[in-house]
């Protein structure tokens, strides 16, 4: 059992450090370029993984958003390089939905008017020419 742990734990640490190194944004990497850190973690699994965890990534308190803004950003400011806004928080996306909805309503009204016109034409063709209904 101890032999398995001595093999599995360093392997798990190496895999976790490698994935963490790959997924970390470039602006959160410290001391060396991200590519160099990936190479170090790959070539020196145990030492590289520990070095990455200790010195490679900025760690600390999570970034907080400005007070008073539930979405975290003022309406005029878009997040840069961070997480994108959710669609229901994005004013541009909501405005495009309203515009698309208006276009679809107009198209539906045109289709309904066209359908009424065609129905009237068909009813007019079905009636006999002498005016009597059959």
Q: What stretch of H or E contains 106? A: helix 91-126
Q: Extract the residue ranges of the chain whose pLDDT is less than 70.
A: 60-84, 128-134
pLDDT of residue 76: 44
pLDDT in tens, 50-87: 888 888 777 764 454 444 444 554 444 555 556 667 77
pLDDT of residue 109: 95
Q: Report which of 60, 64, 49 is spatially closest to residue 12, judged by C-alpha positions.
A: 49
pLDDT of residue 25: 83
**Is-contact 29 56, C-beta < 8 A?**
yes
**Is-contact 112 106, C-beta < 8 A?**
no
Report d(CA 99, CA 92) in Å as an integer.
11
Residues in a beta bridge with 29: 57
pTM for this model (two decimals): 0.42
pLDDT of residue 82: 61
């Amino acid at each position: 059992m101890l032999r398995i742990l001595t093999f599995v734990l360093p392997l798990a640490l190496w895999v976790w450090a490698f994935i963490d190194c790959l997924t970390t944004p470039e602006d959160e990497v410290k001391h060396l370029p991200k590519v160099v850190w990936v190479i170090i973690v790959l070539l020196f699994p145990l030492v590289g993984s520990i070095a990455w965890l200790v010195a490679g990534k900025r760690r600390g308190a999570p970034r907080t958003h400005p007070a008073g803004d539930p979405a975290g950003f003022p309406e005029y400011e878009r997040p840069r390089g961070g997480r994108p806004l959710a669609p229901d928080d994005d004013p541009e996306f909501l405005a495009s939905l309203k515009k698309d909805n208006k276009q679809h309503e107009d198209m539906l009204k045109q289709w309904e008017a066209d359908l009424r016109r065609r129905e009237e034409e068909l009813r007019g063709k079905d009636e006999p020419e002498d005016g009597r209904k059959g």
